[in-house]
Structure 1
Amino acid sequence: MMSLLVVGAIVVSIVLGYRTKINIGLFAIAFAYLIGCFGLGLSPKEVIAMWPLKIFFIIFSVCLFYSFAIVNGTLEKLAEHLMYRCRHFPHLLPFAIFLAAVVISALGAGYYTVLAFMAPITLLLCSRTGLNLIVGAMAVNYGALAGANFVSSQSGIIFRTLMTNSGISDNQAFINSFGIFASTMIVPIVVLAGLILFSRKRGTAMVSMAHVDRPSPLSADQRSTLILTLVMMATVLLPPIASLILPDNTAVAFVNSKVDIGLIASVFSVIALLMKLGDERKAIASLPWGTIIMICGVGMLISVAIKAGTIDLLGSWIGTNIPPVLIPVAFGVVAAFMSLFASTLGVVTPALFPLVPSLAGTLSIDPMIIFIAIVVGAQATSISPFSSGGSLILGSCPTDEARSGLLPKLLFRAAPLGFIAALVFNLLLTFVF
């Protein structure tokens, strides 16, 4: 009974969030308090302790450092240069949009930020070049997602933290994150290639990119920001990679044990401030506070669900009612349907990742395959107009008429196409590996 109540609270939080436009995380915090204290008999201190402090600190510190590249225009300038480089290859414009979004997102801007400033550019390019709106929307959405999944970027960090919180070792979580990033790069490339070939056969491919002007070079501050960002990424990535290559080296193991991306990002934020690469107040104001509240608030409610035994019950049901070989595919389908209406980072992965380790151990399945299937499935339908990605793309439309025309295309063409591609990929992943 209590498990059903918690599941109902999660669903109600999502519905209320979208109906009232109030942050889902705030509803989740309220339900965590009411169910935790009055339903499970927990003390207020125990409920407050369920606030995912580690995830909060990591997102805060990493986004603070990367916000300097947003505030001083470094990431936007990089996007302009990438577009300009592809001006002589108009048929590859979807890949240019995808690559630009991947690079900017991987450099730390994160999914929401990249869509916020890349989606308007993409829609403008579609209108000027004749590029199909669905292809353009999928290219920018896929790119922002894939880049954010990089190990040292926003989504990749959250995935790693969720994995380690559910019992996966740091090294294995690092490997799993690379698997997720690689998978979410492969699916878009195949889908976009198919869409481009289909468009060219129908004679509806874009005709011109002559309007793309040569962007001005990066300023001194922007070059310094880019260099500092690359150094930070190397500092975060090299020790874990060295540890995987040299597992018995004590020096490498010691250095790797001291690496924490949140603390490292905090140090680099101080360096950026000392170098005067951006205004501190603007950097803090540009942090994705809404996303942070949503992820942490829902995390509290998921912790209540774990306390109530809901997660174990769901895992047991899946383990006994679905053939083991189809477990990853089933997780991918569930994640895809959840993502039609909910955030991958804030709702889907916090709810499903805790199920994976025990279920994978019981059924002798590689946990990485299930983790990949969840993310690939969830991100396949994030372009739905009722999810975060689709709503941001719709918000970038210049007129209400364009918005009303794009909504059914995202819901009835882009989201189903993404779902089919994810389903095929997860089937291949399951039966090949």
Structure 2
Amino acid sequence: MMSLLVVGAIIVSIVLGYRFKINIGLFAIAFAYLLGCFGLGMSPKEVIATWPLKIFFIIFSVCLFYSFAIVNGTLEKLAEHLMYRCRNFPHLLPFAIFLAAVIISALGAGYYTVLAFMAPITLLLCERTKLNLIVGAMAVNYGALAGANFVSSQSGIIFRTLMTNAGLADNTAFINSFGIFVSTMVVPIVVIGGLILVSRKRGVAMASMDHVERPSPLNREQKSTLVLTLIMMATVLLPPIANLIAPDNATISLINSKVDIGLIASVFSVIALLMKLGDERKAIASLPWGTIIMICGVGMLISVAIKAGTIDMLGSWIGTSIPPVLVPVVFGVVAAFMSLFASTLGVVTPALFPLVPSIAGTLGIDPMIIFIAIVVGAQATSISPFSSGGSLILGSCPNDEARAGLLPKLLFRAAPLGFAAALIFNLLLTFVF
């Protein structure tokens, strides 16, 4: 009975959040307290202890460092330069948009930030070059997602932390996270390439991009920020990669054991402040506080669900009711439907990732396949106008008329197309690997 109440609380939190435009995480915290203390007999101290402190610290510290690149205009300037370089290849514009979003998102801007400043640029380019709105929207959305999934960027870090919290070793979580990044790069390239071929066969002409003006060069602060970002990424990535190559080397293992992206990002934030690369108050103000509250609030409710046995119950049902070969595909479909209305980072992955290790162990499936299927499925429908990605793209429309025309295209064309591509990919992933 309590397990059903917890599942209901998660659903109600999502519904109330969207109905009243209030952060889902706040509702989740309230339900975690009510169900934890008065349903499971937990003390208030135990409920407060379910706040995912590690996830909070990592998101806070990493986003604080990357916020300097946002505040001083480094990321926006990079986007302008990438677009300018592709002005002579108008038919490759969707790939240019995708690549620009990937690079900027991987450099730390994160999914929501990239969409916030690249979606308006993309829609404007679509209007001026006659690029199909669906193609442009999917390119920028896919790019922002894939880049954020990089192992040292926002989503990739969250995925790794969720995996380690579920009981996986750090090296295993790193490999799984890299597998997710690669997969979410392959799917968009195939989909965007297919859409471009279809458009060219239909004879859809594109206007010239000669009007794209040459952007000004990066200033001192922007160059320094870019160099510092690349150094931090190398500092975070090289030790675990070296440890995978030489697992028996004691020195490398020692260095790798001391690597923590949250602490490293904190050090680099201090360096950025000492170099005067951005205003401290603006950097802190630009942090994605809404996302942090949502992820951590839902994390508290998921912890209560684990204590209530909800996760074990769902895992047992999936393990006994679904043929093992179809388990990754089913996870992908469930994640896709959840993502139509909920955040991948805040709701879908925190709810589904804890189920993976036990189910994979029982059925003899590689956990990486299930993790990939979940993320690919969830991000396939994130362009839905009721999800975070689609709503940001709609918000970038210049007027209500354009917004009204784009909404059904996102809901009835982009989201189903993304879902179909994800389903095919997950089927291939399951049966090939």
CA distance in 1, matches of 2:116, 2:16: 24
Q: CA RMSD in A?
A: 0.4
- 1:22 aligns to what? 22
Matched to 1:304, the amino acid is: V
8 A contact 1:336–1:378 mirrored in 2: yes
8 A contact 1:137–1:393 mirrored in 2: yes
Residue 336 of structure 1 aligns to a residue whose secondary structure is: helix
Per-residue CA deviations over 1:28-63 (Å, capped at 9, x if unaligned) read 000000000000010000000000000000000000
- Percent of matched pairs sharing the same residue: 89
- 1:406 aligns to what? 406
Q: CA deviation at 1:205?
A: 4.1
Alignment of 1:87-166 (within 5 A): 87-166=87-166
1:354 aligned onto 2:354 = yes
- 1:306 aligns to what? 306
- Normalising by structure 1, what TM-score? 1.00
CA distance in 2, matches of 1:183, 1:212: 32
CA distance in 2, matches of 1:178, 1:68: 25
The 3 A distance-change label for structure 1 pair 205 and 416 is farther
CA distance in 2, matches of 1:180, 1:206: 33
Matched to 2:361, the amino acid is: G
Per-residue CA deviations over 1:82-129 (Å, capped at 9, x if unaligned) read 001100100000000000000000000000000000000000000000
Runs of 4+ aligned structure 1 residues displaced above 6 Å come to none
CA distance in 2, matches of 1:206, 1:415: 24
The 3 A distance-change label for structure 1 pair 335 and 270 is same
8 A contact 2:382–2:390 mirrored in 1: yes
CA distance in 2, matches of 1:299, 1:403: 33
Residue 415 of structure 1 aligns to a residue whose secondary structure is: helix
Matched to 2:218, the amino acid is: L
CA distance in 1, matches of 2:416, 2:188: 14
Residue 295 of structure 2 aligns to a residue whose secondary structure is: helix
- 1:241 aligns to what? 241
Matched to 1:353, the amino acid is: F
CA distance in 2, matches of 1:318, 1:206: 48
Matched to 2:342, the amino acid is: A
Alignment of 1:155-304 (within 5 A): 155-304=155-304
Matched to 2:269, the amino acid is: S
Matched to 1:85, the amino acid is: R
Point out where structure 1 has 5 or more consecutive residues left out of the alignment: none
- 1:61 aligns to what? 61
- 1:421 aligns to what? 421
CA distance in 2, matches of 1:57, 1:241: 23
CA distance in 2, matches of 1:168, 1:211: 51
8 A contact 1:196–1:205 mirrored in 2: no
8 A contact 1:385–1:407 mirrored in 2: yes
Residue 295 of structure 1 aligns to a residue whose secondary structure is: helix
8 A contact 1:343–1:388 mirrored in 2: yes
8 A contact 2:128–2:207 mirrored in 1: no
Matched to 2:96, the amino acid is: A
Residue 259 of structure 1 aligns to a residue whose secondary structure is: coil
CA distance in 2, matches of 1:206, 1:59: 41
Q: CA deviation at 1:207?
A: 2.2
Residue 100 of structure 1 aligns to a residue whose secondary structure is: helix
Per-residue CA deviations over 1:291-341 (Å, capped at 9, x if unaligned) read 000000000000000000000000000001100000000000000000000
- Normalising by structure 2, what TM-score? 1.00
Q: CA deviation at 1:399?
A: 0.2
Matched to 1:254, the amino acid is: L
CA distance in 1, matches of 2:143, 2:262: 24
The 3 A distance-change label for structure 1 pair 200 and 31 is same
8 A contact 1:110–1:154 mirrored in 2: yes
Matched to 2:169, the amino acid is: S
Q: CA deviation at 1:202?
A: 1.1
Residue 146 of structure 2 aligns to a residue whose secondary structure is: helix
CA distance in 2, matches of 1:392, 1:91: 25
- 1:72 aligns to what? 72
CA distance in 2, matches of 1:200, 1:47: 57
- 1:326 aligns to what? 326
- 1:337 aligns to what? 337
Residue 419 of structure 1 aligns to a residue whose secondary structure is: helix
CA distance in 2, matches of 1:323, 1:66: 43
CA distance in 1, matches of 2:407, 2:238: 43
| Range that drifts further, 66-75 or 203-212 | 203-212
CA distance in 2, matches of 1:194, 1:230: 33
Q: CA deviation at 1:211?
A: 1.2
Q: CA deviation at 1:412?
A: 0.3
CA distance in 2, matches of 1:117, 1:352: 30
8 A contact 2:225–2:277 mirrored in 1: yes
Paired residues, what number?
A: 433
CA distance in 1, matches of 2:115, 2:52: 26
CA distance in 2, matches of 1:432, 1:212: 44
Matched to 1:392, the amino acid is: L
CA distance in 1, matches of 2:160, 2:212: 38
